[in-house]
Chain A
Amino acid sequence: MKTEVVGSRALREDSWGKVFGQTKFPADVNLPNQIYGVVVRSPHPHARILNINSEEAMKLEGVAVVLTANDVPHNSHGVLFRDQPVIADYVRMVGDPVAVVGGETMEIAREAAERIRVDYEILPAIFDPEEAMKPEVPPLHPELQSTNVLYHLPIRRGSMEEGWAKADVVVEQVYKTQHVDHAFLQPEAVLAYLDERGHMVVQTATQYAHYDRGEIAHALGFRYSQVQVKTLAVGGAFGGREDISLQIIAALLALKTQRPVKMENTREESFYSHSKRHPMTMYYKTGAAKDGKLVAMQAKIIGDAGAYSSWSINVLRKSAVHATGPYEIPNVEIDSFAVFTNNPYTGAMRGFGAAQTVLAYESQMDLLAKKLGISPLEIRLRNCFQVGSITATGQELTSSVPLDQCLAKIAPYFRREVETP
């Protein structure tokens, strides 16, 4: 189809504002008479809160309010399950919000936050997902699962016995990936206020304004029609702005004080107020026949969900579905697990579970190629998906599967000698 504007290098509509510094990010907007919100976060990975003493904080001039778990009308939020407290009275990770201060200036609010005394009953914590998944370990979310295994997806295709029988070479290896932060350049910031209609207006940078609206409305007991989430310019997201961070807390402060509320994370606070990329341990065993064709693959993938479920089910599902790589393998056994621990909670991040498995399946391809005495390019060309291929989940790829064309474009770079300096 011939097109004129579609397919052109049309200038982005946001270029001028960004080039001239006129674009408004949430940190840039303010209202007269606003107060500043600061969150007190737990230093413990697993604890029950026994008492919160805010007397010393309230003595400080300019402190408007201190809020704790008891002040939240409906104290939960979450993308799959509402298993995360807005303000915790039971802590499952370092960084869980335990109190919120509103002050006339950011300095006052920070000073007051330091004066709040929290008594914790420290509970045993677990950080290794392979330990945590054992049935005898007490579950972190008994309301969701009777063990810490939040999710297990098995994928079964073909016959492993037949697969291994056909394998002339087998590579077995364990791969590990790390916790990663989204490290978007703009830390979380919110401006929340009740407008002349009595509606709660929340200006922020998010990935999904309508989701935020629902969570704010739920926690505060508002109708959806009484909450307006207005997205300002977003300074990077990468999945880190999918879960709620400061939105509900800022709106709650505005509701309780009837004043506009401004919140802005420091970088350190930002590290504690959004999800992380799942670290994964991936046990892989892959077999190929002499002709370079993959014949069998077995994989066990364990992902650390951290303290809350967030998107972990979907992430580990995606890991499992993509675990073979873009290759046809007739005999497959994959088991993928999402496991609760007291580590920072993990959730969406660019690649969403399909980023970790690339390390495993592509390393396996190179190791197999070496054993077979063929090139890395060749082994991929012999196995890559094409139109009509069947994936490990039994899905037929019916159209637009041009990996062979992508490889053809990159092939010339592998047909020359690498220069040595």
Chain B
Amino acid sequence: MKKRGIGLGCAWYGTGYGNGFPDVSSAFVEIHDDGSATVLTGAVDVGQGSNSIFAQIAAEELGLRAEDICVNTADTDVTPDSGTSAATRQTYNTGNAVLKAVRQAKSRLLIYAAREFSCPTPEGIELKSGYIGVKGDPSRRMILGDMVFKARLNGERLISAESSTARSTPVDLTTGQGAPYWPYSFGCQAAEVEVDTETGKVKVLKVIAVHDVGKALNPTQVEGQIAGGVTQGIGYALLEELELQKGMIKNPAFSSYLIPTALDVPKIEAYFVEEAEESGPYGAKGLGEPAMLPTVAAVINAIDDAVGVRITSLPATPEKILQALAEKKEELG
């Protein structure tokens, strides 16, 4: 018989290196004579899309489009060290470094432009849609590239180097007390599963995921992270297991080490909550790791809801479920 159930899982995740270790990201920025710009940072885009996020941040600050920004990363002869692409830290940490660097590079431009436009304060200058001009006075504006070119010929250098460091403190080694991470990300997911009581096979039908991201810098990428995280979480809950025999891996192949394929991916509804984290770039926090955390709990709790057995060891294979069902039957007599 096929039985359906629904389960809930919540999780939290402290982002960054944590425990007081210096968590530093750096970025170089140059604004070019035609109004485009280059960002250099050591942060590796491992497929999560950090390069695109850095382009968006620089573009936002310069009144450009993301495609006007060249993001060159992770070449040690060229880029500054930005720490590892791990710990859910690149959007937050390197994002902050890029933001600071872009603001620093453009600060000289704002001062120069204020003089050119007879505006007494650089705060009256804005960069928008490829132009630089005085806020509220459309008669005083210039193509951004023209102003950059003029500024450079007059000795201004629109380049910058900036760093950003996340905050945390080490935990006490005898009591564990301390503030080991900042910021924390939160999330919850619901999974709807169908359990076949004859075969023990679990099919995940649907996952609803709601994650706290501070600010979604790119909603498509948020949805992508969630879809990937849910899929990896399903693999962790139901399929993946390295089989070891005296330290030897018995299944070092994708024919025997099972990971989810397109056919195992359920319908995923991804939502996010935006409550700005003031220390993040535009209020953003990382999502990379948190996206996969609640899935395992949602699936395991859904199995219990469907057939009334509690699986306590991963993965929840058909064998374990059949055994648990048999034990339950015995208990009920």
A→B interface (CB under 8 Å): 1, 3-14, 43, 45-46, 93-95, 125, 127, 153-157, 173-181, 183, 206-211, 213, 224, 227-231, 234-239, 241-242, 267-268, 271-272, 276, 314, 317-318, 320-322, 325-326, 334, 342-344, 348, 350-352, 354-355, 358-359, 362-363, 365-367, 376-377, 380, 384-385, 392-397, 399-403, 405-407, 409-410, 413-414, 418-421
* Complex CA distance for A213 and B84, rounded to whole angstroms: 13
Known contacts: A178-B314, A363-B300. The answer to whether A326 contacts B12 by CB under 8 A is yes
Contacts A14-B45, A354-B11 given; indicate if A175 touches B66 (C-beta within 8 A): no
16 more contacts with CB within 8 A, not counting A155-B177, A206-B74, A358-B11, are A11-B52, A13-B52, A13-B66, A45-B248, A94-B247, A125-B246, A127-B247, A208-B86, A234-B45, A355-B236, A358-B297, A359-B296, A393-B177, A395-B180, A405-B275, A418-B192
Closest to B185 in A: A400
A140 to chain B, nearest CB (A): 12
Q: How far is the CB of A330 from chain B (nearest CB, A)?
A: 14
B10 adjacent to A403 (CB under 8 Å) = yes
Per-residue A-contact encoding for B5-28, CB less than 8 Å = 1, 0 else: 111111111100111000000000
Q: B166: shortest Cβ distance to chain A, in Å?
A: 14
Could you say which of B49, B179, B189 has the most chain A C-beta atoms within 10 Å of its C-beta? Answer: B179
- Which residues of chain B from 277 to 313 have any CB-CB distance to chain A below 8 Å in the complex? 277-278, 282-283, 285, 288-289, 292-294, 296-297, 300-301, 304-305, 310, 312-313
What residue in chain A is nearest B219 (Cβ atoms)? Answer: A9
Q: Which residues of B contact A (CB under 8 A)?
A: 2-14, 17-19, 42, 44-47, 49, 51-52, 55-57, 59-60, 64-67, 71, 73-77, 79, 81-87, 171, 173-181, 183-184, 186-190, 192, 194, 208, 210-212, 214-221, 229, 232, 235-236, 240-242, 244, 246-249, 252-254, 257, 259, 271, 273, 275-278, 282-283, 285, 288-289, 292-294, 296-297, 300-301, 304-305, 310, 312-315
Q: Give A31 Cβ to nearest chain B Cβ, in Å.
A: 17
Contacts of B192 in A (CB 8 A): 418
Contact of B254 among A209, A267, A352 (CB under 8 A): A267
Given contacts A207-B44, A355-B296, A400-B183, contact A343 B244 (CB under 8 A): yes
For B64, give the chain A residue with the smallest CB separation. A5
CB contacts (< 8 Å) of A213 on chain B: these are: 76
Contacting residues, chain A, for B177 (C-beta < 8 A): 155-157, 393-394
The smallest beta-carbon distance between B122 and chain A, in angstroms, is 19
Query: What are 25 pairs between A and B in contact, CB < 8 Å?
Result: A1-B283, A3-B60, A10-B218, A13-B52, A14-B45, A43-B248, A183-B257, A208-B83, A210-B81, A228-B75, A228-B76, A230-B75, A231-B73, A238-B232, A267-B254, A325-B12, A355-B289, A359-B300, A359-B312, A385-B186, A400-B278, A402-B212, A402-B273, A409-B273, A414-B8
Note all chain B residues with C-beta closer than 8 A to A272: 249, 252
Residue pair A400, B276 in contact (C-beta under 8 Å)? yes
A contact face: mostly helix, strand, loop, or mixed: loop
Residues of A within 8 A of B229 (CB): 350
Q: What 6 A-B pairs are tightest by C-beta distance, nearest first?
A: A155-B176, A362-B297, A45-B247, A231-B74, A271-B252, A326-B12
Contact call B253/A267, Cβ cutoff below 8 A: yes
Q: Are B9 and A410 in contact (CB under 8 A)?
A: no
- Cβ of A384 and Cβ of B10 under 8 Å apart? yes
A3 and B236 alpha carbons, distance in the complex (Å): 38
Q: A317-B19, A363-B300 are in contact. Are A207 and B84 (CB under 8 A)?
A: yes
**In the bound complex, what is the Cα–Cα distance between A127 and B259 (angstroms)?**
25
- Given A13-B52, A362-B9, A409-B273, are A355 and B242 neighbors across the interface (CB < 8 Å)? no
CA of A180 to CA of B180, assembled, Å: 26
Contacts A94-B249, A393-B171; is A406 near B9 (CB within 8 Å)?
Answer: no
| Cα–Cα, bound, A380→B218 (Å) | 29
Across the interface, name the chain A residue whose C-beta is closest to B255: A267
When the two chains form the complex, which single residue of B66, B189, B296, B301 contacts A376, counting CB atoms closer than 8 Å? B301
User: B47, A234: Cβ atoms under 8 Å?
Assistant: yes
Complex contact A1–B242 (CB within 8 A): no
> Which among A209, A239, A393, A406 is the interface contact of B186 at CB below 8 angstroms?
A406
Give min CB distance, B79 to chain A, whole Å.
Answer: 8
Q: Which of B81, B214, B301 contacts A400 (CB 8 A)?
A: B214
CB–CB A4/B210 < 8 A: no
Bound-state CA distance A11–B194 (Å) is 36
Do A177 and B313 form a contact, CB below 8 Å, given A127-B247, A348-B86? Answer: yes
A157 contacts across to B, CB distance below 8 A: 175-177
Q: Which residue from chain A places its CB closest to the CB of B282 in the assembled complex?
A: A6
Q: Contacts A267-B252, A410-B8 hold; do A179 and B244 have CB atoms under 8 A apart?
A: yes
